[in-house]
Structures are given as structure tokens and as C-alpha cells.
Amino acid sequence: MLHVIGLGLGDATDVTVKGLEIIRTCDRVYLESYTSILSVGLKDLEEFYGRSIVEADRELVENNVNEILPKDGKENVAFLVAGDPFGATTHSDLILRAREENINVKIIHNSSILTAVGCCGLQLYRFGETVSIPYWIENWRPNSFYEKIISNRQRDLHTLCLLDIKVKEPTLESITKKRKEYMPSRFMSTSEAAAQLLETIKERSEGIQDEMGLCESSLVIGLARVGWEDERIVAGSLKEMTLVDLGPPLHCLIIPARNLHPLESEFITLYTCK
């Protein structure tokens, strides 16, 4: 059987009791290492779980998945995921591949950023489509995320913006020359995301008078390391957020609905930029 186990958002102790019991009995244990991070490293997880763990990067999971799947009907494999197993589409593909091979799959759920963002005081049922904000490079500046944000605002819904993560990304040279070289890891900050969003607004010529659109004075909320001991939440204008330093990753950005419930407004004042 393949066990896909969510580890939650913080450290080694966030795993569920059920998940921990399974990890300790599996023949092989893998840790997916490229869609998110925990506050502790691989060695800390191994010490707490009492098991050796193989780090599974993007290349292994997406291109060599058969190396992970159980080899026969008696073998049990644990595939560990920060957050919840269905927080990334990659894990859905892994599960489908396993079932194509007639391998039984068991899912152990855990907390996810998709629900933990409620810590900022916004009501979860009022969130619309989640968007991803990618890093821009010189000749590639995608901004389709902006249209989705506007669509949510038109329905008076909040938008959770997940920010780009670059872990073990191959360099352009390594792709063209078929030589394995990787760029340094990068994690987009809320200030970088806010700056890209402001540039997108300017490019789209959205004016301050457009109540459905965004402007530099629009309210946004920055969150960092949700579920960790040093979690941070800051609310302020989009322009202010470009100057806010929330520290180390992981970060995410929320664009609230135009009209807030009184309880939401009161809660957000706890995090307003001073």
C-alpha cells in the first residue's frame, strides 16, 4: 500500500497519531521536498519518527515515480507531504499513477494553508479561487493571477495568493546541455508579490476609481510561517506591503473582499501596520 501522509504546517510534532503510527511501520519513507517546507529539517523528522527518510525532489516524483511506488503486494511505502496531501496537484498525479498500477492508496489528512489562513480573521467560506503568483523573469511576466483576483472581488470574495517557490530548479544551461545544474533555492516574499501586483495594476491601467480593481491603497494581508512558532501576520495597504519584511519563508498574501464582515474588520485591526 502507498500511504500519503500530511505532516501539517509546523514541525515534526504536527503529524497526526495515525500518521506517525503508519510511518513507523512502513518499509520505505519518502519526504516530498519541493512544494513546501516545514520549520525543521530532514534529520529532525528522522529523529522524531524513528525512521530513515529519503528526500523526494521534483525530478524523482514527477519523472521517476515508479521508484517510490511499492514493489509488490507486501511492501508499504509512506510518502510524506508538508500540509495536506491534496494541497498540491502533484500529489493527485502520484495517487492516480499508483491506482493505475493497482496499488492500494491510503490518505492521512492534516492541516493546510488553505484552511489555516483563517488565523488572520477572514472567514473561510468567503474565499474564492486561490491563485499562484510566479516569479517574473526578463522575458516572462505572466499576470493571469490578476484577472482571477478581480473575478473574486466582483463576487465580494477574498483571494489567497500562494507565492512562488523555487527548489532544485534546473538552470537554463543544464536544460539545453542536458547537464544537471540547479539554481539556488528561492522563496517569494509578500513584499515581492505586492510589488509585482502593483506593476501588473499599472500595466493593466487600472485606476483608483475602479472599485472592482486594485490600487496602491487597497487592503492586503501578508502572512509568514503560518503554524510555526514565529508566525507573523501584517495588514496594510498594497503599497505598504511592498516595504514590509516578514522574515524567512514561507509567505502568502491575501487580497480581502471589498466589503468585510464587522468581525473580520475588527480582527484585522489586530494586525494593522503601525
Checking phi first, is residue 59 left (phi over 0); if not, alpha (psi -120 to 50) or beta?
A: alpha
Label residue 60 by pLDDT band (50, 70, 90).
confident
Label residue 79 by pLDDT band (50, 70, 90).
very high
Please choose, from the candidates 113, 109, 1, 4, the residue with its C-alpha nearest in 3D space to the C-alpha of residue 56.
4
The answer to whether 111 touches 15, Cβ cutoff 8 Å, is no
- Top pLDDT among 173 and 239 is at 239
* Pairwise CA distance, residues 257 & 96, whole Å: 36
Main-chain dihedrals φ then ψ at residue 83, nearest 5 degrees: 80, -135
Question: Does residue 99 sit in helix, strand or coil?
Answer: helix
CB atoms within 10 A of CB 258: 14
- Its pTM stands at 0.91
Label residue 207 by pLDDT band (50, 70, 90).
very low
And the C-alpha cell for 18? 495515525
> Looking at residue 158, what DSSP letter applies?
B
And the C-alpha cell for 225? 510561517
For 111-149, the pLDDT digits (tens) are 999 999 999 999 999 999 999 999 988 788 888 899 999
**pLDDT > 80? residue 192:** yes
- Top pLDDT among 208 and 193 is at 193
Label residue 108 by pLDDT band (50, 70, 90).
very high
Give the pLDDT of residue 209. 47
User: With pLDDT > 90 as the criterion, what percentage of the chain qualifies?
Assistant: 71
Question: Does residue 138 sit in helix, strand or coil?
Answer: coil
For 3-22, the pLDDT digits (tens) are 999 999 999 999 999 999 99
> Looking at residue 6, what DSSP letter applies?
E
Which amino acid is it at 66? N
Question: Which range among 9-13, 75-79, 95-99, 157-161 shows the weakest confidence by mean pLDDT?
Answer: 95-99
Checking phi first, is residue 152 left (phi over 0); if not, alpha (psi -120 to 50) or beta?
A: alpha
Tally the C-alpha atoms within 13 A of residue 89's C-alpha that lie toward its C-beta. Answer: 1
Label residue 183 by pLDDT band (50, 70, 90).
confident
The answer to whether 232 touches 196, Cβ cutoff 8 Å, is no
Q: Do β-strands 219-224 and 232-237 pair in parallel, antiparallel, or remain unpaired?
A: antiparallel
**pLDDT > 80? residue 187:** yes
CB neighbours of 130 closer than 8 A, spacing ≥ 6?
A: 114, 159, 160, 161, 162
**pLDDT > 50? residue 208:** no
